[in-house]
Structure 1
């Protein structure tokens, strides 16, 4: 009898560990309506509420011929970053450590660092998506011009994202439990909200206070984004401040972070 041979079926390549973790974490992230609201919706909603105040839409000489709502667009952009890096990400990572998930992952081919990388990618992407939404609302609803120096604006925005994620990772490294993470994150959140200009735009702060705030990561980011929005290259001093904070916080989080 003639023999028949069956060609071997090629095996489907298994997804890489980081890719698999990123897919799983993306599904979990999308199931958290609270985080999605505060990162993606709240900054644009706050900008809309402020824009409905008639006086905020009027240009004034005190602001260099600009309106208050125009100053608040970069502030709302930074607010999205603060929400993602200080309120959303640290409790997730601290919870994974507290429940022993990171320790159990150490015994599998998937390293705990893949989980950390996935969280950074997800919250960074959500921050950038919220920034685009805020600028779109400002442009379409209130006529706020889009950034005139897009390359400088993109650089300042990416540095701000890196800085806030490094700060969030540091908070997680210092916090052994989710309760501690939430408490520390809330304190940092309020401080960063002030320096970003949520209550008082940095551009309208008194001289000495403004100079002090510009040495903070989000005070420098607010000024850099504002300068790029006006068509100027962001000041190297402001970019340098963000770089130094990112490097310092990144180094601290790397050395202090524990998987269990």
Structure 2
């Protein structure tokens, strides 16, 4: 008797899934526009004065502070709000549960959402950089390799925290609410509403360890060509580890 073989989805199935995820994201008008439009608005409002003031290594406030903040906003919005809301919807509607009894694992949906989110993040960051370089005279980072490495860590950290949101949110609306609370809470400690120097010293120190503040500070150092604080790198790596561990423990593919 010949043993039945389990057919695993091939490259065509993966491509089709990613394409479907992209269509879902494109239909979400707010989720498509806000991660790009809000950072561009902040950039446009700040660039006129920030592009003329030099702070370190002949780099301007625009390059050292505004651009890192804008990049962190793009990644955090998509990682903490958009992705969890989609995953919560898929769980609530039973899509993930139905996938679990097919050759396609629910994890494929997660991977597809991460891929589409990463592409959206790159487009959002690319649009912000293009506007800054073309219209406001911004320059690339002094240490581009460090900037790319930090950016990869930033994406991993924000998506890991987003997975925690997706794990604990019972509905898509709850995922959006929890994601926004996490976004503003982390942002408030990391310079979203002004320089961390204006915060109480304990809050500013904690903010440098949390994902948003660590993202802004590490990207700022890479842009200025200065040493990246170990606390920033440790904080981002810890967020990835903790987020992955919590999500793996708490996340459920169905509502039960």
Q: Same fold (TM over 0.5)?
A: yes
What are the Cα deviations for residues 136-181 of structure 1, in whole angstroms up to 9, with x where unaligned? Answer: 2222222222111011001111101001111111101011112321
Match of 1:36 among 17, 26, 32: 32
Residue of structure 2 in register with 1:181 after alignment: 175
Report which stretch shifted further, 144-153 or 19-28. 19-28
Equivalence for 2:135: 141
Is the 1:78–1:218 contact (alpha carbons within 8 Å) kept by the matching residues of 2?
A: yes
Shift of 1:32: 2.5
Aligned match of 1:24: 20
Q: CA deviation at 1:50?
A: 2.1
Question: How many angstroms apart in 1 are the aligned matches of 2:12 and 2:104?
Answer: 9
Q: TM-score, normalised by structure 1?
A: 0.85
Per the TM alignment, residue 211 of structure 1 is displaced from its structure 2 partner at its CA by 1.8
TM-superposition CA deviations, 1:3-28 (whole Å, max 9, x none): xxxxxxxxxx9754332211211122
Cα distance in 1 between the residues matched to 2:144 and 2:62: 20
**In 2: Cα distance, 1:114 partner to 1:87 partner:** 20
Residues 249 and 14 of structure 1, relative CA distance in 2, 3 Å threshold = closer
Aligned equivalents of 1:146 and 1:206: distance in 2?
A: 32
Corresponding residue number in structure 1 for 2:6: none
CA contact (8 A) 1:149 1:229 kept: yes
CA contact (8 A) 1:202 1:223 kept: no
**Is residue 65 of structure 2 the alignment partner of residue 69 of structure 1?**
no
Structure 1 residues not aligned, in runs of 5+: 1-12
Distance 1:217 1:15, change over 3 A: closer
CA contact (8 A) 1:76 1:198 kept: no
Kindly indicate whether residue 241 of structure 2 is the aligned counterpart of residue 247 of structure 1: yes
> CA–CA distance in 2 between the matches of 1:219 and 1:212?
9
For 1:14 and 1:159, locate their aligned partners in 2 and report how far apart those are by CA, in whole Å.
29
Q: Is the 8 A contact 2:39 2:73 kept in 1?
A: yes
1:68-119, CA deviations, whole angstroms, 9 ceiling, x for partnerless residues? 4331111000000111011211111101111111111112221110001111
| Residue in structure 2 matched with residue 7 of structure 1 by the alignment | none
Deviation at 1:206, TM superposition (A): 5.8
Question: Does the 8 A contact of 1:220 with 1:242 survive in 2?
Answer: yes
Contact 1:170 1:252 survives alignment (8 Å):
yes
- Indicate the SS of the match to 1:214: helix
8 A Cα contact 1:21 1:115, kept in partner? yes
Match in the other structure for 2:111: 117
Partner of 2:79: 85
Q: Using structure 2 for the length normalisation, give the TM-score.
A: 0.87
Q: CA deviation at 1:65?
A: 6.7
Larger radius of gyration: 1
